[in-house]
Amino acid sequence: MIASSILLISSLFPSITLAGQGGSAVVERIIDGDTISVKYNNKRLKVRLWGIDTPEYRQPYSKAATKFTSKMVAGELVFLEVKDWDDYGRMVAVVTLSDKRCLNEELVKEGLAWVHIYYCKEAICNQWYGYEKKARQERIGLWQDKSPVPPWVWKRKKHSYK
Protein backbone atom coordinates (compact mmCIF):
# COMPACT_ATOMS: atom_id res chain seq x y z
CA MET A 1 0.00 0.00 0.00
CA ILE A 2 2.73 2.48 0.96
CA ALA A 3 4.84 1.57 -2.07
CA SER A 4 1.89 2.11 -4.40
CA SER A 5 1.16 5.45 -2.69
CA ILE A 6 4.77 6.52 -3.21
CA LEU A 7 4.61 5.56 -6.88
CA LEU A 8 1.35 7.43 -7.31
CA ILE A 9 2.61 10.53 -5.51
CA SER A 10 5.96 10.51 -7.31
CA SER A 11 4.16 10.23 -10.65
CA LEU A 12 1.82 13.11 -9.76
CA PHE A 13 4.57 15.22 -8.19
CA PRO A 14 7.87 14.27 -9.82
CA SER A 15 9.71 17.12 -8.06
CA ILE A 16 8.87 15.73 -4.60
CA THR A 17 11.59 13.74 -2.92
CA LEU A 18 11.24 10.18 -1.67
CA ALA A 19 11.90 8.81 1.82
CA GLY A 20 15.36 9.49 3.16
CA GLN A 21 15.71 12.69 1.19
CA GLY A 22 14.61 16.16 2.07
CA GLY A 23 14.75 19.83 1.39
CA SER A 24 13.69 23.28 2.45
CA ALA A 25 10.08 24.41 2.59
CA VAL A 26 8.11 27.42 3.74
CA VAL A 27 5.35 26.72 6.26
CA GLU A 28 2.16 28.26 4.93
CA ARG A 29 -0.46 26.95 7.34
CA ILE A 30 -0.78 25.05 10.61
CA ILE A 31 -3.44 22.36 10.34
CA ASP A 32 -3.04 20.97 13.86
CA GLY A 33 -0.28 20.19 16.33
CA ASP A 34 1.36 17.55 14.17
CA THR A 35 0.32 18.53 10.64
CA ILE A 36 1.42 21.55 8.63
CA SER A 37 0.97 22.77 5.08
CA VAL A 38 4.10 23.85 3.23
CA LYS A 39 5.32 25.14 -0.09
CA TYR A 40 7.93 22.59 -1.14
CA ASN A 41 9.56 22.39 -4.57
CA ASN A 42 6.94 24.84 -5.89
CA LYS A 43 4.13 22.54 -4.69
CA ARG A 44 1.76 22.89 -1.75
CA LEU A 45 1.55 19.81 0.37
CA LYS A 46 0.63 18.61 3.82
CA VAL A 47 3.33 17.31 6.13
CA ARG A 48 2.60 14.99 9.05
CA LEU A 49 5.26 15.11 11.76
CA TRP A 50 7.03 11.76 11.94
CA GLY A 51 7.37 9.72 15.12
CA ILE A 52 5.03 11.73 17.34
CA ASP A 53 1.31 12.23 17.89
CA THR A 54 -0.32 15.33 19.35
CA PRO A 55 -3.82 15.38 20.86
CA GLU A 56 -6.67 15.16 18.38
CA TYR A 57 -9.22 17.91 17.82
CA ARG A 58 -11.47 18.13 20.90
CA GLN A 59 -8.93 16.30 23.04
CA PRO A 60 -7.40 18.22 25.94
CA TYR A 61 -4.24 20.11 24.87
CA SER A 62 -5.07 19.92 21.17
CA LYS A 63 -5.30 23.70 20.93
CA ALA A 64 -2.13 24.12 22.98
CA ALA A 65 -0.21 21.80 20.63
CA THR A 66 -1.54 23.63 17.56
CA LYS A 67 -0.66 27.01 19.07
CA PHE A 68 2.86 25.81 19.94
CA THR A 69 3.42 24.48 16.41
CA SER A 70 2.17 27.76 14.98
CA LYS A 71 4.46 29.79 17.23
CA MET A 72 7.43 27.67 16.22
CA VAL A 73 7.05 27.43 12.45
CA ALA A 74 4.24 29.56 10.94
CA GLY A 75 5.70 31.39 7.95
CA GLU A 76 9.16 29.99 8.63
CA LEU A 77 11.65 28.28 6.35
CA VAL A 78 12.15 24.72 7.61
CA PHE A 79 14.06 21.64 6.49
CA LEU A 80 12.04 18.47 5.84
CA GLU A 81 13.63 15.07 6.25
CA VAL A 82 11.24 12.77 4.41
CA LYS A 83 10.55 9.53 6.26
CA ASP A 84 7.50 8.22 4.41
CA TRP A 85 4.19 9.07 2.76
CA ASP A 86 0.95 8.21 4.51
CA ASP A 87 -2.31 6.85 3.11
CA TYR A 88 -3.69 10.40 2.88
CA GLY A 89 -0.93 11.51 0.51
CA ARG A 90 0.86 13.51 3.20
CA MET A 91 4.62 13.62 3.47
CA VAL A 92 5.70 12.20 6.84
CA ALA A 93 8.81 14.07 7.95
CA VAL A 94 11.11 15.32 10.63
CA VAL A 95 10.85 19.12 10.58
CA THR A 96 13.95 21.11 11.52
CA LEU A 97 13.87 24.85 12.15
CA SER A 98 16.50 27.28 10.89
CA ASP A 99 18.03 27.35 14.41
CA LYS A 100 18.53 23.54 14.14
CA ARG A 101 15.82 22.64 16.67
CA CYS A 102 13.54 19.76 15.69
CA LEU A 103 9.82 20.60 15.85
CA ASN A 104 8.88 16.96 16.45
CA GLU A 105 11.24 16.80 19.43
CA GLU A 106 10.22 20.21 20.82
CA LEU A 107 6.57 19.14 20.99
CA VAL A 108 7.59 16.10 23.05
CA LYS A 109 9.80 18.21 25.35
CA GLU A 110 6.92 20.65 25.93
CA GLY A 111 4.61 17.82 26.93
CA LEU A 112 2.38 18.39 23.92
CA ALA A 113 3.00 15.10 22.09
CA TRP A 114 3.52 11.44 22.66
CA VAL A 115 6.33 9.55 20.99
CA HIS A 116 4.31 7.32 18.68
CA ILE A 117 4.65 3.73 19.93
CA TYR A 118 3.77 2.23 16.54
CA TYR A 119 5.84 4.40 14.21
CA CYS A 120 8.87 5.73 16.09
CA LYS A 121 11.34 2.87 15.79
CA GLU A 122 14.67 4.59 15.03
CA ALA A 123 17.53 5.38 17.40
CA ILE A 124 16.37 8.99 17.89
CA CYS A 125 13.14 7.66 19.37
CA ASN A 126 15.00 6.48 22.48
CA GLN A 127 16.10 10.06 23.11
CA TRP A 128 12.55 11.31 22.49
CA TYR A 129 11.18 8.74 24.96
CA GLY A 130 13.58 10.25 27.50
CA TYR A 131 12.13 13.72 26.83
CA GLU A 132 8.62 12.33 27.14
CA LYS A 133 9.51 10.68 30.45
CA LYS A 134 10.95 13.96 31.76
CA ALA A 135 7.82 15.89 30.71
CA ARG A 136 5.68 13.28 32.50
CA GLN A 137 7.78 13.50 35.66
CA GLU A 138 7.65 17.30 35.63
CA ARG A 139 3.92 17.26 34.75
CA ILE A 140 4.41 19.56 31.77
CA GLY A 141 1.65 20.16 29.21
CA LEU A 142 -0.74 17.25 28.76
CA TRP A 143 1.06 15.38 31.52
CA GLN A 144 -0.70 17.67 34.01
CA ASP A 145 -3.70 15.37 33.55
CA LYS A 146 -3.70 12.27 35.73
CA SER A 147 -4.13 9.89 32.80
CA PRO A 148 -4.01 11.52 29.38
CA VAL A 149 -5.31 9.36 26.55
CA PRO A 150 -2.97 8.87 23.58
CA PRO A 151 -4.58 9.97 20.29
CA TRP A 152 -4.40 6.48 18.75
CA VAL A 153 -6.44 5.15 21.72
CA TRP A 154 -8.81 8.14 21.70
CA LYS A 155 -9.55 7.66 17.98
CA ARG A 156 -10.29 3.95 18.49
CA LYS A 157 -12.67 4.70 21.38
CA LYS A 158 -14.39 7.49 19.46
CA HIS A 159 -15.02 5.23 16.45
CA SER A 160 -16.25 2.35 18.61
CA TYR A 161 -19.20 4.49 19.84
CA LYS A 162 -20.63 4.99 16.34
The pLDDT, as a whole number, for residue 5 is: 43
| Active-site position among 28, 29, 44, 48 | 48
| Active-site position among 56, 105, 106, 110 | 56
17 has pLDDT over 80: no
Q: 27-58, pLDDT tens digit by residue?
A: 999 999 999 999 999 999 999 999 999 999 99
Question: Kind and range of the H or E element at 32?
Answer: strand 22-32
110 as an active site residue: the answer is no
76 as an active site residue: the answer is no
Q: Which residues pair with 141 in a beta bridge?
A: none
Every domain of the chain and the residues it spans? 2-160
| Active-site position among 44, 81, 90, 101 | 90
pTM of the predicted protein model: 0.86
Q: 58-110, pLDDT tens digit by residue?
A: 999 999 999 999 999 999 999 999 999 999 999 999 999 999 999 999 999 99
12 has pLDDT over 60: no
Helix ranges (H only) for the chain are 2-12, 62-73, 103-109, 123-138, 151-160
Fold type of domain 2-160: OB fold (Dihydrolipoamide Acetyltransferase, E2P) (2.40.50)
Helix ranges (H only) for 28-150 are 62-73, 103-109, 123-138
30 vs 159 pLDDT, higher one: 30
90 as an active site residue: the answer is yes
Alpha-carbon separation of residue 142 from 31, 110, 111, 147 (angstroms): 19, 9, 6, 9
Secondary structure class of 134 (helix, strand, coil): helix
Q: Are 38 and 28 in contact (CB under 8 A)?
A: yes
> How far apart, in whole angstroms, are the C-alpha atoms of residue 30 and residue 75?
9
Phi, psi of 3 (to 5 degrees): -60, -40
